[in-house]
Structure 1
């Protein structure tokens, strides 16, 4: 009996499969320190216990994207070890802040399958839930992945495409218990711009750029226990190791501090596309567009819907060509909800 795990291929999935992912992970201050070393992350709520207490929380949570990376990383051996590409996201909700000492686990359900016309690959849709040590959900989201077939002659499964929301309604968002921005300190946060200062349709060039290094992205991917072969093994992808898409997400989110320093907490992920591959040596820049705004029931807290675009060159605010295809310099197109002081 084989003792090693070659990973699942497309023909190994069936709609309704429940995948319990291995290796629980207890969060420590090390994750925060390494995250802030890898990315220029400066949002005050995730940097200071005292600032977080001033916002009604018991302490500073770990960055929302640390939670995302940890929950996501556990799914890789069962969902995307043999993936060609991670294609998109929908219906992501951060349900509860994660603090140092919490232990996270992940479970996924296969909710859709579609074999590609080439017969060599197919798309697998999963809904993943991350829970803490009390069994409380802290994050759930859907994603879809293109996965290789091991046997190209294996019969194609019936196509099942899940119905997913294109946008989360404000009422779908979960506001952390106790969150209160009524005495929010913009001087300590780094910028004066509040929820009321942003207009729907406004675009923001975040100005700064960071060149991706090979060692940094592999360190990040290992940190989240992401074992996808395309990030490490050039024999799997001879044209070069693909930068983990989450690395680009975190880099772009960190760069967005310059212009959106008060968009403190990510609470919803409406959609996302890794539009083009990112490779070591690319210089990532970012821009944002305000898509929507909504009030919340929490004191002093507004929700702002943002499009975050990461690029590796080109002019800011250029997204697609005349044919509706992403421009070649666009790396990421992410649509999310964040919480901001009114």
Structure 2
């Protein structure tokens, strides 16, 4: 009997099944340092204990995407080891900060299944929860993945497609306990722009670009313990290329938004997202962001801004992302819809 894990295939999932994921991970300051080495991340709240304390927190929490990547990585052996593609996200929320010393674990519930017409794969929807050492919810999100079938003749399960919200409602955003932006120091943060300086429909070009390096994306994928074969094994794809982990693009895009959105300090919710086209080493990532909505929160001085950040691999371009048939243009890498907290 083989002791190795070949991963799950489409026919192995059942609606309502709860999958606990191995292995818990204790977070240290090393993750913060590596995150800042891998991405051009400069948001002040995640960089400075003193800045964070002035904003009402006990110190500087881990970057929100560190929590996302760590929890996501835990799910890969059970959800996407045999994935063809990671298709999208919805209904994601960060519920509390992650601090050095916290231990994170993850579990997923299967909430949707649909076999593809080819009969060789199907789409699996899961709701994943990241919990800390006190069993407190750190973040949760829905994602859906196209997964290969292990046996082409395996019977298709009954189709269940979950009804997902287009966006998290502002009233459902969770503000970190104690967060207070009434004494916010714009000079230390790097920009003066606050809620009143942004308008719905405004588009911000973030100017900078980052060229993907093979070594950096491999280091990042190992850091998050993501074991998906498409990211490691150059023989797994017919073209002999290792696919860049989509979360790597999310973090690069988020970091690029600093130039124009330096005060969007905390990611609060993940409304939706699509990895529109594959990315490979040598591609240069650039980004622009559209302001979709603005909202107040009960926390002193804290507002929420809904953003749509688009990462692409072109030079100067317009802001069109889809063709006349509604298909993403070939240079679009990421289409990410999320809420963030910024000062009023």
Deviation at 1:179, TM superposition (A): 0.3
**Following the alignment from structure 2 to structure 1, what is the Cα–Cα distance between the partners of residues 10 and 236?**
17
Other-structure match for 1:124: 124
Map 1:161-240 to 2 at 5 A.
Answer: 161-239=161-239, 240=241
Map 1:145-164 to 2 at 5 A.
Answer: 145-164=145-164
Map 1:261-300 to 2 at 5 A.
Answer: 261-300=262-301
Map 1:93-112 to 2 at 5 A.
Answer: 93-112=93-112
Asked whether the 8 Å contact 1:108–1:129 carries over to 2, the reply is yes
Other-structure match for 2:136: 136
Deviation at 1:95, TM superposition (A): 0.2
Other-structure match for 1:65: 65
Give the CA RMSD over aligned residues. 0.7
**Following the alignment from structure 2 to structure 1, what is the Cα–Cα distance between the partners of residues 101 and 234?**
36
Cα displacement string for residues 291-326 of structure 1 (whole angstroms, at most 9, x for unaligned residues): 000000000000000000000115141211122111
Other-structure match for 2:330: 328
Asked whether the 8 Å contact 1:130–1:138 carries over to 2, the reply is yes
**Following the alignment from structure 2 to structure 1, what is the Cα–Cα distance between the partners of residues 313 and 326?**
19
Matched, 1:7 2:7: yes
Cα displacement string for residues 176-206 of structure 1 (whole angstroms, at most 9, x for unaligned residues): 0100000000000000101110000000000
Which of 336, 339, 342 does residue 340 from structure 1 map onto? 342
Q: Segments of 4+ in structure 1 off by > 4 A? A: none
Matched, 1:50 2:30: no
Asked whether the 8 Å contact 1:286–1:308 carries over to 2, the reply is yes
**Following the alignment from structure 2 to structure 1, what is the Cα–Cα distance between the partners of residues 73 and 89?**
15
**Following the alignment from structure 2 to structure 1, what is the Cα–Cα distance between the partners of residues 197 and 58?**
28
Gaps spanning 5+ residues in structure 1: where? none
**2:84 partner SS:** strand
Asked whether the 8 Å contact 1:287–1:316 carries over to 2, the reply is no
Other-structure match for 1:249: 250
Other-structure match for 1:35: 35
**Following the alignment from structure 2 to structure 1, what is the Cα–Cα distance between the partners of residues 281 and 117?**
31
Gaps spanning 5+ residues in structure 2: where? none
- TM-score calculated relative to the size of structure 1: 0.99
**1:175 partner SS:** coil
- TM-score calculated relative to the size of structure 2: 0.99
Cα displacement string for residues 33-85 of structure 1 (whole angstroms, at most 9, x for unaligned residues): 00000000000000000000000000100000000000000000000000011
Asked whether the 8 Å contact 1:205–1:316 carries over to 2, the reply is no
Are the structure 2 counterparts of residues 316 and 45 from structure 1 closer, same or farther at C-alpha, using a change threshold of 3 Å? farther
**1:181 partner SS:** coil
Deviation at 1:238, TM superposition (A): 2.8
